[in-house]
Amino acid sequence: YICTRHDSHGHLAVAAAEAGKHVLIEKPLALTAEACEQVAAAVAKAGTFLMPAFKMRYYPLIQMAHTFIPEPQVVVGQMMDSRWSDDAWAQDPVQGGANVHSQGCHTTDIIRYLSGSEPKRVWAAGGTLTHPGHPCIDQCVASIHFANGHVGSWIQGDAAQPQLVSKFFFELFGDGKSVQLHDRLKKATFFDGDRTWTEEREEEEGFQLENEEFISALLSGRTPELTVHDGIQATRIVLSADRAIRTGEVQEL
């Protein structure tokens, strides 16, 4: 398990792979594209597997929503938080990358997963709005175009936490159906074109279920559902959105 500060993920993951170890690594996989590719190369060379700890993939209602609308025309993902402390380690530009880079990969991974396709193009607007003078972008609103022609909207930041839908919020729309995932993904409201209903879970189950998946993969000798590719793609979307905000230009992935 690699559960250290973000800037150490890359070299620790490479070292673990070179030692022949399978790895469950906290998000993000790394803070730079170069570090992500180095990890991928080390894992491929060693013949081991690396599983990024995207706990939200394993929330039962996320899985249910994906089954209900496998390839939605539109996906919306939002993770808005209370303002992060200026002296928090995750807000440090070197160790944590600040909110958008630290937590954003959770949101981009779920948007990509729910879309059922790979991202091809990203445009974004935002800036350093809640931490004046900080070098990292702290608010991001992005549009993601996928290979299947469908689109996603991603909102990330720490301007405030929404009280109605909660910090974690996703929506799917497709073929006359919709799903809204809210209350920290413990509730999901489904619409099938005729009727509406809500499914609920008593608690957040992601940590337990991602550990069960990692241990199951170890014991069975199979590749886990989440791989280094998923970690890379989530970070690529975040980095592309950052570049789009700074340059004002659409980014091709």
Per the structure, the complete domain to which residue 129 belongs is given by: 55-203+234-252
- Contact in structure between 113 and 66 (CB atoms under 8 Å): yes
Mean pLDDT by 10 residues, the chain (253 residues): 97 98 97 97 98 98 98 98 96 96 97 98 98 97 98 99 98 98 98 98 96 97 97 98 98 96
Q: What local confidence, expressed as pLDDT, does residue 234 receive?
A: 98
Q: What local confidence, expressed as pLDDT, does residue 1 receive?
A: 96
Are 197 and 213 part of one and the same domain? no
Cα separation of 120 and 100, whole Å?
A: 20
Assign residue 134 a region (left: φ > 0; alpha: ψ between -120 and 50; beta: otherwise): beta
Q: What local confidence, expressed as pLDDT, does residue 253 receive?
A: 94
Are 15 and 71 part of one and the same domain? no
Flag whether 1 is in a domain: no
Cα separation of 183 and 201, whole Å?
A: 10
Q: Residue 44 maps to which CATH number?
A: 3.40.50.720
Are 48 and 59 part of one and the same domain? no
Flag whether 74 is in a domain: yes
Are 150 and 80 part of one and the same domain? yes
Are 49 and 60 part of one and the same domain? no
Q: What local confidence, expressed as pLDDT, does residue 35 receive?
A: 97
Is the alpha carbon torsion for 107, 146, 234, 124 positive or negative? Answer: negative
State the pairing for strand pair 168-174/177-182.
antiparallel
Q: What local confidence, expressed as pLDDT, does residue 155 receive?
A: 99
Q: Considering the entire predicted model, what is its pTM?
A: 0.97
The total domain count for the chain is 2
Contacts of 108 (CB under 8 A, 6+ apart): 77, 144, 154, 233, 234, 237, 238
Are 164 and 134 part of one and the same domain? yes
Flag whether 147 is in a domain: yes
Q: Residue 241 maps to which CATH number?
A: 3.30.360.10
Are 87 and 173 part of one and the same domain? yes
Number of CB atoms found within 10 A of residue 125's CB:
13
Q: What local confidence, expressed as pLDDT, does residue 227 receive?
A: 98
Q: What local confidence, expressed as pLDDT, does residue 108 receive?
A: 99
